[in-house]
Amino acid sequence: MTEWQTATVVGIRPETARAKTFRLALPGPTNHRPGQHYVVRLTAPDGYRAQRSYSVASAPDGSSELELTVERLEGGEVSTFLHDVVVIGDELEVRGPIGGWFVWDGEAPAVLVGGGSGLVPLMAMLRHARRLGRSELVRLVVSVRSPADLLYAGELPGPETTVVYSRVAGSDRPPGRLMAADLDVLPDATGYVCGSSGFADAASRILIDLGQPVDRIRVERFGPTG
């Protein structure tokens, strides 16, 4: 059981109109693995508490800093506070890293499929692969509505990545839902799927139809909690 720690906000940058990345400094090394998450807890003056889990976006580098990318959700207690109130220098209560199943340590091939903000833990995996100089081990496909909704737009492009726009064209591919032709399944790879429940189901079916063994597909679903 991990304990609560006090993290200092040392950086904030916008990713899209509705998402920001918060760089946090912890008292000691994070020791996180790509795909894990941290819980952020807020405590009001009257003692009321709210907490939410956010995937780590940064690759492990042995430092005491990590990055969480948070989408602002209307009515979300934690996400709106982070977006509208938190500034550099503030302190946050966090607990983690958490999770041991939806992780990739950079030792075997991986097919990464994300929908919207489901890209966040997969980005940690991609960054880890690039940091190790092992980009050939990963293929990442992310589906978003439009170019304006794409996280990490300046960093994501590369020979190992594909972006699918479902509503507004942003590439030569016509806008539309994720299809089998968008995926490149590597031999002996493990599939990592992250997104809404509907997206995760659809993406998993595509992987299975392409010959990906069911027991080598790992799925992380999320809902509209804020």
Q: By mean pLDDT, which of 25-29, 110-114, 185-189 is the weakest?
A: 185-189
Q: Given this chain, do its domains 4-98 and 110-221 carry the same CATH topology? A: no
pLDDT digits (tens, 9 = 90+) for 130-146: 999 999 999 999 999 99
**In terms of CATH, what superfamily is 4-98?**
Translation factors (2.40.30.10)
Q: By mean pLDDT, which of 12-16, 190-194, 220-224 is the weakest?
A: 220-224
Judged against a pLDDT cut of 80, whether residue 226 lies above it is answered with no
106 sits in which H/E element: none
* CA-CA-CA-CA torsion sign (76, 78, 79, 82): positive
Tell me the β-bridge partners of 141: 113, 162
Judged against a pLDDT cut of 90, whether residue 160 lies above it is answered with yes
pTM for this structure?
0.95
Q: Which of 109, 120, 167 is nearest to 20 (CA)?
A: 120
Contacts of 104 (CB under 8 A, 6+ apart): 33, 34, 35, 110, 125, 128, 190, 192
Average pLDDT over residues 99-115: 97
As given in the structure block, the two tokens for residue 64 are 């005491």
CA distances from 226 to 33, 79, 198 (A): 24, 5, 19
* CA-CA-CA-CA torsion sign (144, 205, 200, 132): negative
Distance CA 101, CA 79 (A): 25
Q: What is the pLDDT of residue 171?
A: 81
Q: What is the pLDDT of residue 70?
A: 97
Average pLDDT over residues 154-181: 92
- Where exactly are the structural domains of the chain? 4-98, 110-221
Judged against a pLDDT cut of 80, whether residue 218 lies above it is answered with yes
* Domain boundaries 110-221, corresponding CATH code: 3.40.50.80
DSSP-derived 3-state class of residue 7: strand
Q: What is the pLDDT of residue 225?
A: 53
Tell me the β-bridge partners of 12: 22
Round the CA-based radius of gyration of the chain to a whole number and report it: 17
CA distances from 81 to 41, 69, 75, 87, 96 (A): 11, 14, 10, 10, 20
Average pLDDT over residues 57-82: 95
Phi-psi region of 16 (alpha: psi -120 to 50; beta: other; left: phi over 0): beta
